[in-house]
């Protein structure tokens, strides 16, 4: 396995932790908005492990951009799509090139509950809808060549940008506990289990699917501030 990410220190710490448990894993610094970085990461993976059989395109984020914001709204929109949609597009471009030449593979893209329902962050929501559309189109186009393409759609996860918000405002956690049908935010490992299933042969007949990992929250109307 190869971790390709921008956050070098965090990634190296994770690699060391996994290697201590016996995992065969490497790291290469990669910015998914830079096409040459993606090409280098895929070549690195092929050289280290002999091929690319599964890819998880998980880089993403949100730059709050609302229709009623003045000034820098357009720039924020561009940055949001550059990371969330163009980063996935460029990654798939080079992942597919190798997989199509070598008998197929599995690609998993990260969407969000915002990929199938409205939120008040228009740019972020639009970018995640775009990821789901890209996933389904690629699944349709490349399925007969042996490539499966799916999406995992996390809900509120107790990590990343949500964790400091919960730490600073316990009432926000309480509000989400009340809104989410399963009664709590998710854990990163629970998203990881869904991704591992989509990477594996156990999901051999799943393609073009969006797998929600959100505690049932995609189907509720409650959304705390």
The residues spanned by each domain of the chain are: 56-219
- Identify which has the larger pLDDT, 135 or 72: 135
Q: Classify domain 56-219 at the CATH superfamily level.
A: NAD(P)-binding Rossmann-like Domain (3.40.50.720)
Measured CA distances, 171 to 61, 100, 113, 165 (Å): 24, 49, 22, 10
Q: Is the separation of the CB atoms in 191 and 87 below 8 Å?
A: no
**pLDDT category of residue 221 using cuts at 50, 70 and 90:** low
Q: Which residue among 63, 124, 129, 142 is the active-site one? A: 124
pLDDT tens-digit series, residues 52-105:
999 999 987 765 555 555 555 667 777 888 888 899 999 999 999 999 999 999
Per-residue pLDDT tens digits for 169-206:
888 889 888 889 999 999 999 999 999 999 999 999 99
CA–CA dist 146, 127 (Å, integer): 27
Sign of CA dihedral 156, 115, 96, 87: negative
Residue 124 a catalytic site member? yes
Using 50, 70 and 90 to split pLDDT, how confident is the model at 44?
very high
The model carries a pTM of: 0.88
Residue 46 has pLDDT above 60, yes or no: yes
**195 close to 224: Cβ distance less than 8 angstroms:** no
CB-based burial, 166-188: b 16+ in 10 Å, e otherwise: beeeeebbeebeebbeeeebbee
Question: Quick one: average pLDDT of 102-118?
Answer: 89
pLDDT reported for residue 64: 56
Q: What is the pLDDT of residue 114?
A: 76
Residue 150 sits at φ, ψ, to 5 deg, of -135, 170
Residue 54 class from Cβ within 10 Å (0-12 exposed, 13-18 middle, 19+ buried)? middle
- Give 167's Cβ-side CA count (13 Å radius): 7
The answer on pLDDT for 222 being more than 90 is no
Measured CA to CA, the distance from residue 103 to residue 83 in angstroms comes to 29
């Amino acid at each position: 396995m190869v971790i390709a990410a921008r956050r070098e220190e965090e990634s190296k710490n994770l690699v060391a932790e996994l290697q201590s448990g016996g995992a065969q894993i490497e790291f290469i610094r990669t910015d998914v908005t830079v096409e040459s970085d993606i090409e280098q990461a895929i070549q690195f993976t092929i050289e280290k492990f002999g091929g690319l059989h599964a890819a998880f395109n998980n880089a993403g984020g949100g730059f709050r951009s609302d229709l009623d914001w003045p000034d820098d709204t357009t720039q924020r929109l561009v940055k949001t799509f550059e990371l969330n949609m163009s980063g996935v597009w460029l990654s798939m471009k080079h992942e597919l090139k190798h997989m199509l030449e070598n008998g197929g593979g599995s690609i998993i893209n990260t969407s969000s509950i915002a990929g199938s329902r409205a939120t008040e962050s228009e740019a972020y929501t639009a970018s995640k809808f775009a990821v789901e559309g890209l996933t389904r189109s690629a699944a349709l186009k490349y399925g007969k060549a042996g490539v499966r393409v799916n999406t995992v759609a996390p809900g509120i996860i107790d990590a990343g940008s949500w964790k400091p918000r919960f730490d600073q405002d316990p009432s926000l956690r309480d509000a989400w506990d009340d809104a989410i049908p399963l009664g709590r935010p998710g854990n990163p490992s629970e998203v990881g289990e869904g991704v591992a299933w989509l990477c594996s042969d156990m999901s051999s007949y799943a393609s073009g699917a969006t797998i929600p990992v959100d505690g049932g929250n995609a189907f509720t109307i409650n959304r705390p501030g």
